């Protein structure tokens, strides 16, 4: 049972209008946003930040951003966000090889050196204490320009917020996200945990 129950999706008209963004990303409005709307300004600001972070300004693709979000959430331990990000990565065209081998990104041929650098950075930046060192930074700079690095860290930071929100709130996992989690992550020990 969540700490605070979500409100109906039509509770606040402006939040509902902005939350249409998630219909493309996930196919539904997440319960986290429906809970945030108890303070509509928080929900609106979060949705706008999410849209800005996930916009494609450079070579950081939509599917890579979702895989970065997945590894950030895996590192933080948030099963709710793990299910959401793997579902969104699939919806944004991450190949079956990438979805099936995300845990092996460092060695699997489905991942480029640039993707590996971004994913290594995501894991290090999501660790507590922060694990970003000069080697990880230099490797990231070898593959990505300053604007793209801002995009990559924007995803990590966004999911840092979401991981804390959803794990502390015990946000109930929606059926489609749970199904994606089971399909892609279940064989690696993933369960809905407190979110189911």
pLDDT tens for residues 81-113? 999 999 999 999 999 999 999 999 999 999 999
CATH of the domain at 84: 1.20.1290.10
- Segment 4-21 shows an average pLDDT of 96
Number of domains within the chain: 1
pLDDT at 120 over 90: yes
| Within a domain: 73 | yes
pLDDT at 29 over 90: yes
The pLDDT value recorded for residue 61 is 98
Q: What is the pLDDT of residues 128-181, one digit of tens each?
A: 999 999 999 999 999 999 999 999 999 999 999 999 999 999 999 999 999 999
What is the rounded distance in angstroms from the CA atom of residue 149 to the CA atom of residue 51? 17
Return the axis-axis angle of helices 113-126 and 146-169, rounded to nearest 10°. Answer: 40
Query: Could you list the residue range(s) of the whole structural domain that residue 123 is in?
Result: 59-188
Question: Mean pLDDT score of the chain, rounded to an integer?
Answer: 97
| Within a domain: 20 | no
The pLDDT value recorded for residue 163 is 98
Burial of 13 (0-12, 13-18, 19+ CB in 10 A): exposed
| Within a domain: 196 | no
The pLDDT value recorded for residue 59 is 96
| Within a domain: 54 | no
The pLDDT value recorded for residue 192 is 97
pLDDT band at 58 (very low <50, low <70, confident <90, very high): confident
pLDDT at 1 over 90: no
- Segment 37-45 shows an average pLDDT of 98
What is the rounded distance in angstroms from the CA atom of residue 32 to the CA atom of residue 16? 13
- Are the C-beta atoms of residues 69 and 61 closer than 8 Å to each other? no
Angle among Cα 85, 86, 89 to the nearest 5 degrees reads 85
- Are the C-beta atoms of residues 182 and 176 closer than 8 Å to each other? no
State the maximum Cα–Cα separation within the chain, in Å, rounded to a whole number.
48
| Within a domain: 92 | yes
């Amino acid at each position: 049972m969540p700490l605070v129950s979500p409100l109906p999706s039509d509770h606040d008209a402006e939040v509902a209008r902005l939350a249409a963004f998630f219909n493309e990303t996930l196919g539904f409005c997440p319960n986290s946003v429906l809970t945030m709307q108890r303070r509509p300004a928080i929900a609106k600001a979060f949705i706008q930040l999410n849209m800005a972070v996930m916009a494609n300004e450079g070579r950081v693709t939509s599917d890579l951003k979702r895989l970065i979000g997945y590894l950030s959430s895996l590192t933080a331990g948030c099963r709710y966000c793990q299910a959401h990000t793997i579902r969104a990565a699939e919806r944004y065209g991450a190949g079956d090889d990438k979805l099936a081998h995300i845990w092996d990104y460092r060695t699997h041929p489905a991942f480029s050196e640039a993707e590996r650098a971004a994913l290594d950075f995501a894991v290090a930046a999501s660790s507590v204490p922060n694990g970003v060192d000069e080697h990880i930074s230099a490797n990231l700079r070898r593959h990505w320009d300053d604007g793209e690095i801002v995009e990559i860290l924007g995803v990590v930071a966004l999911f840092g917020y979401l991981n804390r929100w959803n794990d502390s709130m015990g946000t109930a996992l929606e059926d489609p996200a749970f199904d994606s989690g089971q399909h892609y992550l279940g064989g690696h020990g993933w369960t809905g945990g407190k979110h189911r």
